[in-house]
């Protein structure tokens, strides 16, 4: 028995032509109705023109990460070869880690790049998304104000008592507390700016 031959166009080719024809029909209707097929960004990034404070904090975070890598590498290599030559390496790493975590927060906030779960909001209308964005900023202001108040109390106590970490370098406690207070305060200011900007911006 001979094989049955299929003289028509292959199935994949027919599907591609059908999709292309459908795309032209939809594009023609949207052009006639004045509707754009481009995606709409309801929360544009504010990456252009960040204040110098946010750029400075981000640069400080990068330098802290570089210093952290150098300290860890020097500590591991020196321990393997002879003995540790980095004094208070564990304390230095812990203090630098605080800077690495908190320093980028103001810039991330200004760019609206915090992690967001949109599984329940992606189908909501634009106005509802806009109002939820403002509500989220207000909650963020309250949360970071709470953190800033805690860091301020810790800074006042460590400055008054003069506490420091036991070790060769005697790193004072107020250094980390002061930086954490500055970072969280800057995040609060940026969130307030976003709240005012979103309220003035039409949904």
pLDDT tens, residue by residue, 119-151? 888 888 888 888 888 898 999 999 999 999 999
What total of structural domains would you count in the chain?
A: 1
Could you tell me what percentage of the chain is helix, strand and coil, using 3-state DSSP and rounding each to the nearest 5?
65, 0, 30
Q: Is residue 26 part of a domain?
A: no
State how far the Cα of 138 lies from the Cα of 130, in Å rounded to an integer: 13
Rounded to a whole number of angstroms, the CA Rg of the chain reads 28
Q: What is the pTM of this model?
A: 0.68
Q: Is residue 37 part of a domain?
A: no
Mean pLDDT confidence for 196-201: 87
Q: Is residue 31 part of a domain?
A: no
Q: Which residue segment(s) compose the domain that 134 sits in?
A: 45-200
Contacts of 43 (CB under 8 A, 6+ apart): 112, 129, 133
CA neighbours closer than 13 Å in the CB half-sphere of residue 139: 6
Q: Is residue 192 part of a domain?
A: yes
Confidence band for 101, pLDDT divided at 50, 70 and 90:
very high
Buried b (16+ CB within 10 A) or exposed e, 179-189: bbbbbbbbbbb
Give the model confidence (pLDDT) of 152-170 as tens digits.
Answer: 999 999 999 988 888 888 8
């Amino acid at each position: 028995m001979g094989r049955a031959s299929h003289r028509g166009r292959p199935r994949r080719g027919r599907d591609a032509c059908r999709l292309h024809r459908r795309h032209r029909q939809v594009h023609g209707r949207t052009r006639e109705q004045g509707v754009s097929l481009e995606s709409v960004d309801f929360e544009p990034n504010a990456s252009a023109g960040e204040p110098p404070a946010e750029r400075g904090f981000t640069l400080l975070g990068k330098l802290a990460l570089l210093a952290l890598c150098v300290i860890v590498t020097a500590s591991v290599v020196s321990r393997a070869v002879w003995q540790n030559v980095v004094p208070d390496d564990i304390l230095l790493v812990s203090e630098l880690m605080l800077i690495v975590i908190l320093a980028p927060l103001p810039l991330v906030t200004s760019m609206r790049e915090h992690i967001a779960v949109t599984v329940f909001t992606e189908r909501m209308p634009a106005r509802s998304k806009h109002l939820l964005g403002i509500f989220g900023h207000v909650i963020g202001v309250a949360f970071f104000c709470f953190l800033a108040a805690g860091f301020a109390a810790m800074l006042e106590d460590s400055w008054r008592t003069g506490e420091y970490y036991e070790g060769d370098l005697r790193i004072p406690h107020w250094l980390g507390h002061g930086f954490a207070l500055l970072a969280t305060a800057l995040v609060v200011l940026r969130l307030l700016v976003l709240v005012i900007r979103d309220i003035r911006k039409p949904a």
